[in-house]
Amino acid sequence: MDGKRLIALVKNNIIKLIRTPANLFMNILFPAVLTVVFGIAFSDPEMGMTISSTTPGLISYAIIFIIMTVAMSFAEDRESGLLKRINTTPTTSGEFMGSHIISNLITSFLQVIIVLGIAFLIGFRPTGNLWSYILVFIIIGLFALIAVGLGLIVATIAKNPGAATGISFIFILPMMFFGTFMPLNSITEIIAKFMPSAYATNALEVLFTGDYLNPVILSGILFLSIAGIIIVISGVLLFNKYGNK
């Protein structure tokens, strides 16, 4: 793997994000708008919904949409013939895939900073220490990897960017409703046990209280790590075999 080519591809992906209004909105502006709307309009202390309780879910909520942006990006590259052109260059599939993983990790970390910054302005006051925040970014990184892997799976199935958008919601909606800040009951809690977003949100909730030794953190990291490895490898293999044409 050539480091210079990898860095160049990462820069290209970030420039593409900035120059694409839809992706820029979904990845950068959407988390900001979502935090303001839910932080001010829907925080209800009587129902147990405050900016402190909803912020971890808002972070997970924002990262979930990386699934759609990754799927759309790969579908666009395939439709435009870029993937075929890349196959004729010295660039390897590992470098190409790696650049998307790195650029989306950067995007997810930026999303976290945006959500935390706006949440802080409207009253969010986490009590975690430095180690807590290190673990926060580890959790976010693992969850973002899962989102990238699911995006690759969607891109394998989708024939064009429009289809990629629609198919993405097969993965997005369950994680939105059963793993972010939506209230759960006895039935939906069972469903949430299979949602990576639920493990990420629960771990973030605990970390923002400063309790970085809580078992919820370890279980969240283990689940996200195992799920991330399986999903990313599956996504890469499927896309290389069926989608990279």
The pLDDT tens digits for 157-189 are 888 888 888 899 999 999 988 878 776 777 888
Cα dist from 115 to 26, 30, 50, 154, whole Å: 13, 10, 15, 26
- Give residue 225's pLDDT: 95
Of 62, 70, 90, 63, the C-alpha closest to 156 is: 70
Position with higher pLDDT, 4 vs 219: 219
Instruction: Tell me what pLDDT residue 107 has.
Output: 85
Mean pLDDT to the nearest integer, 134-161: 90
Strand-pairing partners, residue 49, are 44
CA distance 202 to 225: 15
Query: What pLDDT digit, counting tens, does each position of 88-136 carry?
Result: 777 777 777 788 888 888 888 888 888 888 888 888 888 878 888 899 9
Q: What is the pLDDT of residues 224-235, one digit of tens each?
A: 999 999 998 888
Confidence check: pLDDT of 35 > 90: no
How is residue 210 annotated by DSSP?
Answer: T
Task: Report the pLDDT value the prediction gives residue 92, as an integer from 0 to 100.
Answer: 73
Whole-angstrom distance, CA of residue 141 vs CA of residue 77: 24
pLDDT recorded at residue 41: 66
Q: Stretch 191-217: mean pLDDT, rounded?
A: 89
b (16+ CB within 10 A) / e for 120-145: eeeebebebeeebbebbebbbbbbbb
Which helix H or strand E contains 245, and what residues bound it? none
Has residue 43 got a pLDDT over 70?
A: no
Average pLDDT over residues 18-36: 78
pLDDT higher than threshold 60 for residue 47: no
Q: At 32, is the pLDDT very low, low, confident or very high (cuts 50, 70, 90)?
A: confident
- State yes or no: pLDDT of 243 exceeds 70: no
Q: What is the mean pLDDT of residues 192-198?
A: 90
- Quote the pLDDT of residue 221: 94
Q: What is the 3-state secondary structure (H, E, C) of 146-201?
A: HHHHHHHHHHHHCCCHHHHHHHHHHHHHHHHHCCCCCCCCHHHHHHHCCCHHHHHH
99 near 13, Cβ under 8 Å?
yes
Nearest residue to 143 via CA among 41, 228, 244, 31: 228
Summarize the confidence of residues 55-71 as an average pLDDT: 88
Q: What ranges in the chain are assigned the alpha helix state H?
A: 3-19, 21-24, 30-36, 51-64, 66-80, 82-87, 93-121, 130-157, 161-177, 186-192, 196-207, 215-238
Q: What is the pLDDT of residue 204?
A: 92
pTM: 0.86
Q: Give the per-residue pLDDT at 13.
A: 80
The span from the CA of 40 to the CA of 37, in Å, is 6
Share of the chain above pLDDT 70, in %: 93
Give pLDDT, residue 226. Answer: 95
